[in-house]
Amino acid sequence: MSITYLEAIRQAQAKALADNPNVFIYGQDIGAFGGAFKATKGLFEKYPDRVIDAPISEDAMIGLAVGAAIEGMRPIIEMQFADFSTVGFNQIVNQAATHYWRTNVPCPITVRLPSGGTPGSGPFHSQCMEAIYAHYPGIIVMTPATVEDAYSMLLEAIYTDDPVIFCEHKYLYYHLKADSLPKQSLPAESARITRSGRHATVITYSAMIHEALLAADSLHDDGYEIEIVDLRCVKPLDIDTVLGSVARTGRALVVGEAFPWGGVTAEVISRIASEGFHLLDAPPAKLNARDTPIPYHPDLWRYHRPTASSIKSAIQKLLKD
């Protein structure tokens, strides 16, 4: 049997619906249609009351989820694309994120954001919004990079008593496959050493893990062993695992698919520089998408986001520093 990243997400939701009557899913076209990406396929048939089509009202969708969470439910909200969550932004960062701190009543909602670029998706169906949400206190932001993590972290998200922004990468939906779903897993808040090495560390997450792996493979042929840290959760950051790796390699490249100003890469570098300065043998480097909207044309898109080849170049530069 082979399971895709998308199927893992579907199965995590199926399991949560089966195990806990307080779980429900709310989103556009997620009912009988099974969702724009089929992440909820077949779930409506089994749980017609708890897999519910929403109107095109992202603000009210999040508001509804918060209200339901107050009453003890564990709503999962599917945004059709991460990019459309901007419309629900206020309810996420001001209503959901502040709820526990203000009222002492937890707000366990999971907002699934189909994120990231695929060829031809253009400026409004490709965005990576993890940094936007991570900036706000009270929100947990998960960015799974593997089929196993998509499954286990989504289940953790659903059972977490805080709002979780779950950034699932659309490029990985069909591209990534595993043999089976995990029975056990690393806790969501821990980063993972995806590949061990000793010449440099690449710290990244989500789809960029796979570009980094390709870059590392290719550098292996040149005699370099590149360590790769998968952040998994970008808020909170498991900085100990990051620093542990940098302590071994002395060199850090942080890669993100999001826009270059600020964001996860800046936060990670700033943490490394502040907390692990003396571990560094060379200036830490970062690599992001370009500072423009995400282009539609595949030829532009490939050059807009980091790729195995631009990561490889960045590592080579880092190794020379």
Partner 1 sequence: MADIATQSTGAEIDLPEAFQNAFRWMVLARTFEDKIASVYRAGKIVGGVYVGRGQEAFSAALAVQLNRGKDIYAPLIRDMAGRAAFGEPVIDAARTYLGSAKGSMRGRDGNIHRGSPREGVPAMISHLGAMISVVGGMLFARRLRGELENSVGAACIGDGATSTGSVHEALNLAAIEKLPLVVAIANNQFAYSTPTSRQFACKDLVDRAIGYGIEGINVDGTDLADCLQGFNKALSRARSGKGPQLVVGKLLRLAGHGEHDDAHYISKQMRASSLGKDCLAVARKRMIAENWGSEEDCKVLEEKAIEEVENAILQASGEESPDAYTHDWNACFSERFRDTQSDP
Ligand X SMILES: Cc1ncc(C[n+]2csc(CCOP(=O)(O)OP(=O)(O)O)c2C)c(N)n1
Taking the least distance from each CB to partner 1, the nearer of 170 and 178 is 170
- Residue 37: burial class (beta carbons within 10 Å; 0-12, 13-18, 19+): buried
- Residue 292: burial class (beta carbons within 10 Å; 0-12, 13-18, 19+): exposed
Backbone phi and psi for residue 146, each to the nearest 5 degrees, phi listed first = -130, 165
Q: Does residue 125 carry a catalytic annotation?
A: yes
For ligand X, which residue of 84, 133, 151, 259 counts as binding (CB under 6 A)? 84
26 belongs to the binding site for ligand X (CB under 6 A): no
Residue 273's binding partner out of a copy of itself, partner 1, ligand X, none, with CB under 5 to 8 Å set by partner kind: a copy of itself
- For the CB of residue 1, give the shortest distance to partner 1 in the complex, in Å: 26
Residue 62: strand, helix, or coil: helix
- For the CB of residue 107, give the shortest distance to partner 1 in the complex, in Å: 8
For partner 1, which residue of 20, 185, 310, 316 counts as binding (CB under 8 A)? 310
For partner 1, which residue of 19, 45, 161, 321 counts as binding (CB under 8 A)? 161
Residue 177's binding partner out of a copy of itself, partner 1, ligand X, none, with CB under 5 to 8 Å set by partner kind: none
- For the CB of residue 87, give the shortest distance to ligand X in the complex, in Å: 5
- 134, 235 contact by CB (below 8 A): yes
For ligand X, which residue of 28, 91, 110, 204 counts as binding (CB under 6 A)? 28
Taking the least distance from each CB to partner 1, the nearer of 99 and 251 is 99
Backbone phi and psi for residue 98, each to the nearest 5 degrees, phi listed first = -90, -5
For ligand X, which residue of 32, 56, 105, 247 counts as binding (CB under 6 A)? 56
Q: Which of 125, 169, 199, 210 is catalytic?
A: 125
- Token pair 């059972």 is found at 159
Please give the structure tokens belonging to residue 264.
Answer: 């996860």
Cα Rg, the chain, nearest whole Å: 19
Site for partner 1 in 215-254 (CB under 8 A): 233, 235-237, 239-240
- For the CB of residue 60, give the shortest distance to a copy of itself in the complex, in Å: 13
Residue 120: strand, helix, or coil: coil
Taking the least distance from each CB to partner 1, the nearer of 213 and 289 is 289
- 168, 12 contact by CB (below 8 A): no
Please give the structure tokens belonging to residue 115.
Answer: 């994120």
Backbone phi and psi for residue 100, each to the nearest 5 degrees, phi listed first = -65, -45
Residues 110-139, one symbol each (x = binds partner 1 by CB under 8 A, - = not), give ---------xxxxxxx-----------xx-
Backbone phi and psi for residue 111, each to the nearest 5 degrees, phi listed first = -110, 115
Closest alpha carbon to 21 in 77, 78, 73, 76: 73
Residue 62's binding partner out of partner 1, ligand X, a copy of itself, none, with CB under 5 to 8 Å set by partner kind: partner 1
- For the CB of residue 96, give the shortest distance to ligand X in the complex, in Å: 16
Please give the structure tokens belonging to residue 257.
Answer: 């698919």
- Report the first-to-last Cα separation within the chain, whole angstroms: 46
Positions that interact with a copy of itself (CB under 8 A): 83, 86-87, 89-90, 93-94, 97-98, 101-102, 123-124, 131-132, 134-138, 235, 258-259, 261-267, 269-270, 272-275, 277-278, 280, 282-286, 290-293
300 belongs to the binding site for ligand X (CB under 6 A): no
Strands lying side by side in the sheet with 23-27: 51-53, 23-27, 74-78, 110-115, 164-169, 140-142, 233-235
Residue 225's binding partner out of partner 1, ligand X, a copy of itself, none, with CB under 5 to 8 Å set by partner kind: none
Catalytic amino acids? 125
